[in-house]
């Protein structure tokens, strides 16, 4: 199958000449005269590489289009071209993720070499992603929201240090994946990453699991066993659900953190370990400290570099890329495409996701397995979404005599508005103008509301 190039330029002569060159060299080509049309072609024609002009009046220009392409299809390499660019434009294009910047007038050799190199990069990235997913090392930081960008930046600053990290967030937000990202980006990245689920440790075996034991140390200890600290020596130890440790285990953990020395149960000599500790919890540890349920000195030891992961309901704009990510993963496992139509993703974005990213992944996998058609529709989504996970409805829905329940007004109204827009888009099969008519507003106002709520304008099919 010939590689497909999306050629984006406002000048028809350029599109015609470059298109003829590419076709004579064995490429398939699709064309777009502006940035908006390019984003439509991106979904409809699934190009392997994009050749994108910088200046396309009246807009959006090439840099704005490049930014949207990188958000929607980060795996597709983009080659920029311009006859009026300056150094600042080229630098910004590179920072936004452009593979190469070509100056006009274009030369046949320059265009072909740039595109072949970009295609090779795309193939290498796809293979690297596939191998990482097979090994369970896929990049967990999927999302384009400001919160996710801030999280990535914080991880990049924290990872190279040796300081302890405390990750907080609701269940299902991906605390272990963030810990793994910190480990991989640190100097210990090629050493062991050992995980301990503190909540799952039997209380009478915590010391043995954490520090190991000698043969005969207790009934059933038929051989010497290394503890998790010893297994993580030179690497990173991730203490998940650390807030669930009992008082005795907290005291023993504190001694190790203070001295860097462990002793196996039944052992005669303590020994030093070189371990970076990353802890995580979905509990409110400061409150647990106030209630004497968690040691204050241990909390101080763990909470050197705090990282909080916001819940998925606070970053609805991350739902579309997350759905795309999970759909691609399901497609690879199932050996068939997993696609969502234009109305399905906004409907997913309207749900509050009490189980966060873990729940979203499970729902996408369930729909992928049960799908009987090529596209998963909004109706399919509505059938599988739980009915009790959305935000409370406004008072008109609850009835005048319903008992009062305290709610967050802004969050509730935003959630209700997301759901209304999602249903209108679904009923309109992704046509924003038709959805605006159904909502009795104008298209410009609907676009403004969608941007504010983090709802990406649907194309022919979102995923």
Q: Mean pLDDT in the chain?
A: 84
Task: Say what the pLDDT of residue 389 is.
Answer: 44
Spatial separation of the C-alpha atoms in residues 36 and 97, rounded to whole Å: 19
Task: Say what the pLDDT of residue 179 is.
Answer: 94
> Quick one: which of 40, 47, 96, 36 has its CA closest to 80?
96
Which range has the worst mean pLDDT, 68-77, 298-307, 311-320, 437-446? 68-77
165 has which bridge partners? Answer: 278, 305
Residue 204 neighbours by CB distance under 10 Å: 9
Task: Say what the pLDDT of residue 394 is.
Answer: 40
In Å, how far are 49, 91, 208, 282, 307 from 288, measured between CA atoms?
Answer: 53, 49, 25, 12, 18
> Quick one: which of 72, 191, 184 has its CA closest to 132?
184
Q: Is the pLDDT of residue 135 over 60?
A: no
Task: Say what the pLDDT of residue 449 is.
Answer: 85
Q: Is the pLDDT of residue 399 over 50?
A: no
Higher pLDDT: 343 or 271? It is 271
262 has which bridge partners? Answer: 271
Higher pLDDT: 460 or 277? It is 277
What is the Cβ-side half-sphere exposure of residue 135, based on CA atoms within 13 angstroms?
10
> Quick one: which of 154, 199, 181 has its CA closest to 308?
154
Q: Is the pLDDT of residue 53 over 80?
A: yes
pTM: 0.60
Task: Say what the pLDDT of residue 404 is.
Answer: 58
Spatial separation of the C-alpha atoms in residues 112 and 282, rounded to whole Å: 52
Q: Is the pLDDT of residue 31 over 90?
A: yes
β-strands 225-226, 212-213: how paired? antiparallel
Higher pLDDT: 304 or 463? It is 304
User: Can you list the domains of the chain with their CATH numbers?
Assistant: 4-135 (3.40.50.2300), 146-310 (3.40.50.300), 314-453 (1.10.8.60)
Q: Is the pLDDT of residue 385 over 50?
A: yes
List CB contacts of 94: < 8 A, sequence separation 6 or more: 101
Q: Confidence band (pLDDT; 50, 70, 90) for 460?
A: very low
Task: Say what the pLDDT of residue 239 is.
Answer: 94
Output the CA torsion sign for 331, 336, 341, 347.
negative
Task: Say what the pLDDT of residue 129 is.
Answer: 56
Dihedral, 141, 197, 191, 176 alpha carbons, nearest 10: 0
């Amino acid at each position: 199958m010939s590689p497909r190039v999306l050629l984006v330029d406002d000048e028809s002569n350029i599109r015609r000449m470059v298109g003829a060159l590419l076709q004579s060299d064995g490429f398939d080509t699709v064309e777009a005269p502006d940035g908006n049309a390019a984003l439509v072609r991106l979904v409809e024609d699934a190009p392997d590489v994009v050749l994108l002009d910088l200046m396309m009046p009246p807009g959006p220009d090439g840099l704005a289009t490049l930014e949207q392409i990188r958000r929607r299809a980060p795996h597709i390499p983009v080659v920029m071209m311009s006859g009026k660019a300056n150094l600042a434009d080229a630098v910004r294009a590179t920072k936004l993720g452009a593979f190469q910047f070509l100056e006009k007038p274009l030369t046949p050799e320059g265009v072909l070499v740039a595109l072949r190199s970009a295609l090779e990069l795309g193939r290498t990235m796809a293979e690297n992603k596939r191998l990482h997913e097979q090994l369970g090392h896929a990049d967990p930081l999927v999302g384009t929201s400001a919160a996710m960008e801030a999280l990535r930046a914080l991880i990049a600053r924290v990872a190279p240090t040796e300081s302890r990290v405390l990750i907080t967030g609701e269940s299902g937000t991906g605390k272990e994946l963030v810990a793994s990202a910190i480990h991989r980006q640190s100097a210990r990245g090629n050493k062991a990453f050992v995980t301990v689920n503190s909540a799952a440790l039997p209380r009478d075996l915590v010391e043995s699991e954490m520090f190991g034991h000698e043969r005969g140390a207790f009934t059933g200890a038929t051989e010497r066993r290394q503890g998790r600290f010893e297994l993580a020596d030179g690497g990173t130890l991730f203490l998940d659900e650390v807030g669930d440790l009992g008082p005795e285990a907290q005291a023993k953990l504190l001694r190790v953190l203070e001295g860097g020395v462990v002793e196996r149960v039944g052992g005669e000599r303590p020994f030093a370990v070189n371990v970076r500790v990353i802890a995580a919890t979905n509990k409110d540890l400061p409150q647990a400290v106030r209630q004497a349920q968690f040691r204050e000195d241990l909390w101080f030891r763990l909470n050197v570099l705090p990282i909080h992961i916001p819940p998925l309901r606070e970053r609805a704009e991350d739902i579309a890329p997350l759905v795309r990510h999970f759909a691609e993963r399901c497609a690879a496992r199932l050996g068939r495409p997993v696609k969502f139509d234009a109305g399905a993703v906004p409907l997913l974005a309207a749900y509050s996701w009490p189980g966060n990213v873990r729940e979203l992944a499970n729902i996408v996998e369930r729909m992928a397995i049960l799908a009987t058609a090529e596209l998963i529709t909004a109706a399919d989504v509505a059938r599988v979404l739980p009915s009790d996970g959305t935000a409370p409805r406004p008072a008109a829905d609850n009835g005048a005599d319903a008992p009062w329940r305290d709610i967050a007004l802004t969050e509730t109204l935003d959630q209700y508005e997301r759901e209304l827009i999602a249903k209108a888009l679904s009923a309109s099969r992704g046509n924003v103008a038709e959805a605006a008519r159904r909502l009795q507003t104008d298209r410009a106002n609907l676009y403004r509301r969608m941007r504010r709520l983090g709802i990406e304008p649907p194309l022919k099919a979102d995923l």
